[in-house]
Amino acid sequence: MSHNEMDELRRQLDNVNTELLDLITSRAKIVQQIGKIKHKQSIKRFDPVRERKMLDELTGKNNGPFENSTIEHIFKEIFKASLELQEDDHRKALLVSRKKKPEDTIIDIKGEKVGDGNTHYVVGPCSVESYEQVAEVAKSVKSKGLKLLRGGAFKPRTSPYDFQGLGVEGLQILKKVADEYDLAVVSEIVNPAHMEEAMDYIDVIQIGARNMQNFELLKAAGDVKKPVLLKRGLSATISEFINAAEYIISRGNGNIILCERGIRTYEKATRNTLDISAVPILKQETHLPVMVDVTHSTGRRDLLLPAAKAALAIGADGIMAEVHPDPAVALSDAAQQMDIPMFDTFMKELEAFSTRK
């Protein structure tokens, strides 16, 4: 084959490509018009019966060289792309997305403005065990100028035989301590029916990893006025995580903090695998503040500090960590909580990495 012949064939191919492009563009425009009519008439856009009919007509006319299955596959892709074009508006409109709202959401929790560019800390014991235990940690939290005190009253434990938390009594302890030290309470709620009652005691509703796709709980959190700290599910993709936040905001509550807390992988050296790149992805994709829980992600005291440094370096708005006056006797997560001297060092070491405007 001469060079000229090859060039000529390539030119023809380029022309066909352009024609194909023009054709699928015209097709898309017609589909969009149909979409508008269907929208007005509130008809569902995807019509499998109509698609089947179109595919049958095409394969009926097909004389090769492509197999019918190949023709079906190619056209199915074209149909899908057109359908996605109709649904694009819906997807762009995710209320948590930066496309919807370019500026950062800043959440005011008793004067602590999470998402304002400064570093924020959520610190406290894994579980509320007693007034004295929480007060001791609160004193240390306060002495460092921090505001957000955590503590689990309703504990979603993997085993039903493990300590389940003090329940409402735990919330009462948290509230009493927070009032005495002028702190704000972050605590997990596991049951939609507890939401109303919890409002009297807590400042931030935590939704735990095990409940990230508990849609009734998400809706209940979306129906109240308190900020929500939503943790990433044990095996949730970033997209599932974002959609869980969408459940909350779609009910009217946009004060959501996302918290990366590690995901399950094959790696056993850490309790979970801290997906550090989730932080900038979530910051890019959404307008919500993003925190990193260094305790549950690593499950190792020796990794809390380096993980926190990494989180701040990569753009996290805050850090969550567990502190217990005597971790060895803690009723949950004994292996990974810091004691108070360790917490002192942790905060000192992080000073250079924290932003305080």
Helix 68-92 to helix 3-40 angle, to the nearest 10 degrees?
Answer: 50
CB of 188 to ligand PEP, least distance (A): 6
Q: Return the amino acid letter for 30.
A: I
Question: Please, which of residues 262-301 interact with ligand PEP by CB under 6 A?
Answer: 293, 296
Kindly tell me which residue out of 94, 96, 126, 185 binds Mn ion, with binding defined by CB under 5 A.
Answer: 126
Task: Give least dist CB 206 to Mn ion, A.
Answer: 11
Cα separations (Å) of 22 from 16, 26, 28, 115?
A: 10, 6, 10, 46
126 binds ligand PEP (CB under 6 A): yes
Q: Report the residue number, 82 or 317, with the smaller CB distance to ligand PEP.
A: 317
β-partners of residue 97 are 286
Contact between 125 and ligand PEP per CB under 6 A: no
Which CB, 68 or 213, lies closer to ligand PEP?
Answer: 213
Q: Which residue(s) pair with 258 in the sheet?
A: 230, 290
152 lines the binding site for ligand PEP (CB under 6 A): yes
**At 220, which helix (H) or strand (E)?**
helix 215-222
CA 200 to chain centre: 26
Rounded to an integer, what distance in angstroms lies between the CA atom of residue 262 and that of residue 275?
6
- Residue 136 site contact among ligand PEP, Mn ion, none (CB < 5 to 8 Å, cut-off depends on kind): none
Judged by CB under 6 A, which stretch of 52-60, 129-137, 203-211, 244-252 contacts ligand PEP? 203-211
- In 3D, which of 287, 357, 290 has the Cα closest to residue 104? 287
Name the binder of 209 from ligand PEP, Mn ion, none, CB < 5-8 A by kind: ligand PEP
Residue 71 belongs to what H/E stretch?
helix 68-92
Q: Which of 261, 271, 283, 324 binds ligand PEP (CB under 6 A)?
A: 261
Interacting span for Mn ion (CB under 5 A) from 55-63, 67-75, 278-286, 330-338: 330-338
CA 220, distance to chain mean position in Å, is 17
The 3-state DSSP class for residue 225 equals coil
Using the contact rule CB under 6 A, the part of the chain among 21-29, 52-60, 100-108, 206-214 near ligand PEP is 206-214
Q: How far is the CB of 279 from Mn ion (least distance, A)?
A: 20
Q: Which residue is nearest to Mn ion (CB)?
A: 126
For the beta carbon of residue 224, count every other beta carbon within 10 angstroms.
Answer: 19
CB proximity list for 332: less than 8 A, separation 6 or greater: 126, 127, 152, 155, 157, 162, 163
Is the CB of 212 or the CB of 347 nearer to ligand PEP?
212
Q: Residue 289: which of ligand PEP, Mn ion, none does it interact with, CB under 5 to 8 A by kind?
A: none
**Residue 188 sits in the site that holds ligand PEP (CB under 6 A):** yes
Q: 320 near 304, Cβ under 8 Å?
A: no
- Applying CB under 6 A, the span of 52-60, 128-136, 139-147, 205-213 interacting with ligand PEP comes to 205-213
Q: Does 122 bind Mn ion (CB under 5 A)?
A: no
Which one of the spans 29-37, 72-80, 208-216, 218-226 is the region binding ligand PEP (CB under 6 A)? 208-216
The DSSP line for 19-70 is HHHHHHHHHHHHHHHHHHHHHHTT--S--HHHHHHHHHHHHHH--SSS-HHH
Q: How many residues bind ligand PEP (CB under 6 A)?
A: 10
Q: Which residues bind Mn ion (CB under 5 A)?
A: 126, 333
Q: Which residues bind ligand PEP (CB under 6 A)?
A: 126, 152, 188, 208-210, 231, 261, 293, 296
